[in-house]
Amino acid sequence: MVSNQKFEFTLSEIHEITSLSCYLFTAEGMLIASVGEESADAETAFLKLKQQEFEQEQEAQFHCFLIAIEEETEYVLLLSGEPYQDTIGRMAAAQVRTLAMASAQQYDRAGFMQNVILANMLPIEVITRGKKLHVENARRVVYIIDTAKKNHELVLATVKNLSNIKNKDFVFRLDESSVILVKELPECDNETEEDRFLQETASQLVDNIHMEVMVKARVGYGNPVEKLIDVAKSYQEARMALEVGRVFYAQQDTISYGRLGIGRLIYQLPQSLCEMFIREVFGETVPDILEDEEAMNTINRFFENSLNISETARQLYLHRNTLVYRLERIEKAIGLDIRNFEDAMTFRIAVMVLAHMKENV
pLDDT computed for residue 125 by the predictor: 86
pLDDT computed for residue 138 by the predictor: 94
User: What homologous superfamily does CATH list for 137-264?
Assistant: Reverse transcriptase/Diguanylate cyclase domain (3.30.70.270)
- Contact by Cβ (8 Å): 220, 242: yes
DSSP secondary structure, 90-122, as one string: HHHHHHHHHHHHHHHHHHHHHHHHHHHHTT-S-
CATH 3.30.450.30 occupies which residues in the chain? 4-103
H or E segment to which residue 35 belongs: strand 31-35
Residues of the chain with pLDDT under 70: 1-3, 103-107, 151, 361
Distance separating the N- and C-terminal Cα atoms of the chain: 44
Name the nearest CA neighbour of 101 among 135, 129, 67: 67
4-103 is classed CATH 3.30.450.30: yes
The string of pLDDT tens digits covering residues 93-136 is 998 888 887 766 655 788 889 889 998 888 888 888 888 888 88
Please give the backbone phi and psi of residue 77, each rounded to the nearest 5 degrees, phi first: -105, 125
CATH 3.30.70.270 occupies which residues in the chain? 137-264
User: What homologous superfamily does CATH list for 269-359?
Assistant: PucR C-terminal helix-turn-helix domain (1.10.10.2840)
Q: Could you tell me the pTM of the whole model? A: 0.67
pLDDT computed for residue 143 by the predictor: 97
160 vs 237: CA distance, rounded Å: 22
- Contact by Cβ (8 Å): 25, 31: yes
118 vs 74: CA distance, rounded Å: 30
Strands 218-221 vs 254-256: parallel, antiparallel or unpaired: parallel
Extended strands (E) in 81-230: 140-146, 170-173, 178-184, 218-221
Q: Measure CA 97 to chain center.
A: 30
262 vs 220: CA distance, rounded Å: 17
Please give the backbone phi and psi of residue 135, each rounded to the nearest 5 degrees, phi first: -120, 105
The string of pLDDT tens digits covering residues 258-273 is 999 888 889 888 999 9
Spatial neighbors of 281 by CB under 8 A, at least 6 apart, are 335, 336, 346, 347, 350
CATH 1.10.10.2840 occupies which residues in the chain? 269-359
pLDDT computed for residue 336 by the predictor: 93
